[in-house]
Amino acid sequence: DQQVKQNSPSLSVQEGRISILNCDYTNSMFDYFLWYKKYPAEGPTFLISISSIKDKNEDGRFTVFLNKSAKHLSLHIVPSQPGDSAVYFCAVVIGKLVFGQGTRLTINP
Amino acid sequence: ETGVTQSPTHLIKTRGQQVTLRCSSQSGHNTVSWYQQALGQGPQFIFQYYREEENGRGNFPPRFSGLQFPNYSSELNVNALELDDSALYLCASSFSGPYTEAFFGQGTRLTVV
C-alpha cells in the first residue's frame, strides 16, 4: 500500500525551462515532507523540506508547494540546468522516511 | 564536519551466505537508519537505531539485523542471503526528532548470486 506516490516515472525538460515534479500522499495527518535528489552511484541528497504549517518553501531555484486539501506536493525547479538531471524522490517523515518511487528528470540542452 | 560514509561500496555474495555492511554517521547525529533500494524503486525503510537501541522496524524479516555503537556508527547484518536481497543499501543519519532531515551515505551495492 503506497503511502507516497510519484506517478510520473520520467520527465524531460529543456534547459532554462521550469521542471515540475509531482507527489501525492494518502494520509492527511502527514505533516513534514522532504525532497531528495539522487545521482547514479550516489546516495540521495537532501534538497528542500516543507511542513504542513506552510504551503510554500523556497531555496534558490527550488520551490516546494504543498496543497493539503489535495494531499499533493510539487517541486519546481527554475531555471532547469543540465546538472539537475537526476532521480527525484519525495518523502514523508513519520519517524522514518517513506519514499515515493521517484521521477527521473532529464534536462535537455 | 564529516558526512555519512558506508563500506564497502560494492559486494558480491553467494545465496545462503551472511553479509555485514558498515556505516559511519555524520558528526553529531544520534540516529541512524537503514534503507534498501531495489532497482526502479524508492528506498524502503529497514530499521532505525537511536542511542544504540532499535526504535523502529520496517517490513523486513528477522534475518535483517543491526547494531549501533556508542560512537553512533552502525552495522547492518543480513543472514541466509537470498537472490532478492540484491539491492542498494543506504545508511542515513540524523538528529532525533519529528522534523529533521536525514543525510545519506553513498550506499553499498550488494549482489547475491
List, for residues B44-71, the tens digit of each pLDDT value.
Answer: 999 999 988 998 999 999 999 999 998 8
Confidence (pLDDT) at A90 = 97
Size of interface A-B (CB pairs under 8 A): 59
- Cβ contact (<8 Å) for B90 and A93? no
Q: Nearest C-alpha of chain B: how many angstroms from A26?
A: 17
Mean pLDDT in residue range B101-112: 95
A9-28 pLDDT per residue, tens:
999 999 999 999 999 999 99
Is B66 in the A-facing interface, judged by CB distances under 8 Å? no
Q: Which residues in A lie closer than 8 A to residue B45 (C-beta atoms)?
A: 96-98
How many CA atoms does the CB half-sphere of A35 hold within 13 Å? Answer: 28
- Cβ contact (<8 Å) for B101 and A95? no
Q: Which residues in B lie closer than 8 A to residue A97 (C-beta atoms)?
A: 33, 35, 43, 45, 92, 102
Mean pLDDT in residue range A23-47: 94
- Cβ contact (<8 Å) for A43 and B45? no
Please say if the pLDDT value at position B1 is more than 60. no
User: 3-state class of A83 per DSSP?
Assistant: helix
Is A46 in the B-facing interface, judged by CB distances under 8 Å? yes
Alpha-carbon radius of gyration of chain B: 13
Cα–Cα distance for residue pair B56/A18, rounded to 1 Å: 38
Mean pLDDT in residue range B20-43: 93
Instruction: Give buried/exposed letters for B52-84 (b at 16+ CB in 10 A, else e).
Output: eeeeeebebeeebbbebeeebbbbbebeebeee
Instruction: Give buried/exposed letters for B19-42 (b at 16+ CB in 10 A, else e).
Output: bebbbbbbeebbbbbbbbbeeeeb
Please say if the pLDDT value at position B98 is more than 90. no
Q: Which residues in A lie closer than 8 A to residue B102 (C-beta atoms)?
A: 34, 46, 97
Q: Nearest C-alpha of chain A: how many angstroms from B25?
A: 14
Residues of chain A with pLDDT > 70: what percent?
Answer: 99
- Total Cβ atoms within 10 A of residue A89: 25
The answer to whether B59 touches B84, Cβ cutoff 8 Å, is no
Please say if the pLDDT value at position A67 is more than 80. yes
- List C-alpha distances in Å: B90 to A95, A103, B74: 17, 19, 12
The answer to whether B47 touches B59, Cβ cutoff 8 Å, is no
- Measuring CA to CA, which residue among B8, B38, B27 is closest to residue B93? B27
